[in-house]
Structure 1
Amino acid sequence: MVDLDFDVVSLPDADHPEVGDTAPDFTRPLVNDEYWEDRSLDSLLDDGPVLLVFTTMNGAFPATYTWNELRERDWETDHDVSVVGVTISDPYDTTETIRDREIDYPIFSDPQNGVAEAYGVVHDLDGMTGVTEPRPSVFLLDAERTVEYAWTAGEWPDFPPYDDVADALDDA
Structure 2
Amino acid sequence: MDLGFDVVDLPETDHVAEGETAPDFVRPLVNDEFWEDVALSDLTADGPVVLVFYTMDGAFPATYMWNELRDRDFDDYDATVVGLSISTPYEHKTLIEERGMSFDLFSDPKNEVAEQYGVVNDLDGMAGISEPRPATFVIDGDRTVQYAWVAQEWPDFPDYDALEAAVEDVV
Q: TM-score range by the shorter chain?
A: over 0.9
Contact conserved, 2:83 with 2:105, CA < 8 A, in 1? Answer: yes
Partner of 1:17: 16
CA RMSD of aligned residues (A): 0.9
Q: Deviations over 1:100-138 (max 9, x none)?
A: 221210000000000101000001123423110000000
The unaligned stretches of length 5 or more in structure 2 are none
Please list, as runs of the form range in 1=range in 2, the aligned pairs for 1:19-58 lying within 5 A after superposition: 19-58=18-57
TM-score (norm 2): 0.96
Aligned to 1:67: 66
Question: How many Å apart are 1:13 and its aligned residue?
Answer: 1.1
Partner of residue 99 from structure 1, selected from 89, 93, 97: 97
Matched, 1:4 2:3: yes
1:10-33 alpha-carbon deviations (Å, 9 max, x no partner): 001111111100010000000011
Q: Which runs of 5+ in 1 are unaligned?
A: none
Over the matched positions of the two proteins, sequence identity in percent amounts to 60
State the Cα distance separating 1:161 from its structure 2 match.
0.7
* Equivalent position SS for 1:86: strand
Q: Following TM superposition, by how much is the alpha carbon of 1:171 offset from its aligned partner in structure 2, in angstroms?
A: 1.8
User: Structure 1 CA distance, aligned partners of 2:90 and 2:28?
Assistant: 11
From 157, 160, 165, give the equivalent of 1:159.
Answer: 157
Tell me which residue corresponds to 1:131.
Answer: 129
Contact 2:136 2:149 in 1 (8 A): yes
- Taking structure 1 as the reference length, the TM-score comes to 0.96
